[in-house]
Chains A and B, each alone.
Chain A
């Protein structure tokens, strides 16, 4: 028995060690990003043999941010605004369309419902990055290229989103809807007054997924947007495509792109986890 306890203690020790070590390694790039954004370029890299790059924050954050702001071809603060507007409008629209569509699929019976649904499921296996060529032709022909709509509309019909809403809405009891109908509610009122309020946590979960998806899009905005309309990923890639990369500016831009999202994500990550798992993870 004593031996068994000892063995158990060894397992626990190993498990904790592994967990803490991996967590520290994973957190290090984030810590380093914060530090590097406050350093002058010369301190980000080692100077000579045996010399270390600085591992504690410096005082150059504002200077780096000013240098970044002074580059018109990057226009970083404008790109932050662009990204924010695009992601917010996109999330709102996609939530509306996916929840309406999900409601129809979950709570009505109609012809070709299964065919429609299978069509949506089929596109889940399709990497969206690959539709860029025909989309580009389509969007430029519609006169939408280099506009916010060019980045918002093509992905507003998010297949995983309508699927997710349908699954969630199937849990609403039909008797509840029938009761509302008896009271004279129209079908749209049903959706707006009964269904949406009871779907708050599912909507929040989907919102986090949609926002992250749009926030991270890179290939499509790179193809369809021109100067002045860049989103954050495109603007950062412009800092890097210069012959002499200004690493201090790069780090301050990356920090501003990543760190605020982390704060929001920590607050909302419960929804994100629910979104991908439907509450399957317990404490």
Chain B
């Protein structure tokens, strides 16, 4: 998100608020009135759950009771934080269990492998497409752009179903591979391939989206840089390496950070692959595991601890990506 989001984001962090303070009106109450619907919902459905997850991760229990643990009175409606049946404080037990939970590690590993397969392929495709679409010679840019962006609007579960049908035994994937002499691949029930299938599905969905973001980045590069390089006799590849890539760095950072978050919350695709016969152990992503723990086994406390761990992992990875760049 080039100018509109990324740059302002950095601006907000540093900021020239003095300047704004003189000019903007300070009417008592009015801004709060405008903000109240948003912040009421934000507080109830985002802020409280964030802290509540952390709180729950120190408890163990099964099932939900209707008694309130504590209540917040917001006038028209009482928001009650429910107490759990058999609520029991266990300290760090959930976290200790997590450290020795092989399924947790396996699902993290699966998520990481999906990331490693998906990201290079997707970024290479998106960058290549963006370069061609940015070139002066290319015609019908608008049409190509629209077509390539279409997958973003595909319903996640529905498109996963399409890929299952293509990859199923006797499906089109086998036949296409057979045509170039490759024997059929067991896409769904073989662990290795089922995991790759999840990655390929995501490549299909997100390449166009990232292409648009990279394209925006390419268009912000000043043409004078290229002109100077041409006078110096630089080849296309040299220009790409020494001008395009360094100039694209902030955009690439954005692509990597959003993709990391996207991969770590992947749920629909593995769920569909698993429910059509994929091997649980190799395709279970971390969010899928949390869902199983919390809503199939009803171990909400342990599920919360897993959630906290995952948030910590995502934050750390994002920070590292910011630091490295």
Contact = CB atoms under 8 A, between A and B. Distances in A.
Contact of B26 (A19, A108, A125, A136): A108
A261 B155 contact: yes
Interface string A243-258: 0010100110110011
Interface of A is mostly: helix
B27 A187 contact: yes
Contacts of A261: 153-155
Interface in A233-276: 233-234, 236-237, 239-241, 245, 247, 250-251, 253-254, 257-258, 261-262, 264-266, 269, 272-273, 276
Contact of B38 (A100, A132, A133, A272): A100
A212 interface: yes
B248 interface: no
A15 B41 contact: no
Interface stretch (B89-97, B112-120, B125-133, B191-199): B125-133
Contacts of B212: 273, 276-277, 281
Residue from B25, B52, B79, B219 having most chain A Cβ neighbours under 10 A? B25
Interface residues of B, number: 121
Given A32-B162, A265-B150, A15 B156 contact: no
Given A138-B49, A254-B158, A262 B38 contact: no
Interface of A: 11-12, 15-16, 18-19, 22-23, 26-27, 29-30, 32-33, 36, 44-47, 52-53, 96-98, 100-101, 103-105, 107-110, 113-114, 116-121, 123, 125-138, 140-142, 153-157, 159, 162-164, 167, 174, 187, 191, 212, 215-216, 218-219, 223, 232-234, 236-237, 239-241, 245, 247, 250-251, 253-254, 257-258, 261-262, 264-266, 269, 272-273, 276-283
21 contacts: A18-B129, A18-B132, A32-B166, A33-B162, A114-B15, A117-B12, A125-B315, A126-B311, A133-B56, A134-B50, A137-B81, A218-B268, A219-B287, A233-B268, A236-B157, A236-B161, A254-B158, A258-B159, A278-B3, A281-B219, A282-B219
Interface of B: 1-5, 8-9, 12, 15, 17, 20-21, 23-27, 30-32, 34-35, 37-42, 44-50, 52-53, 56, 64, 66, 68, 77, 79-82, 84, 125, 128-129, 131-133, 135, 137-138, 141-142, 144-159, 161-166, 168-172, 174-175, 204, 207-209, 212-213, 215-216, 219-220, 236, 261, 264-265, 267-268, 271-272, 275-276, 287, 290-291, 294-295, 300, 303-304, 307, 310-311, 314-315, 318
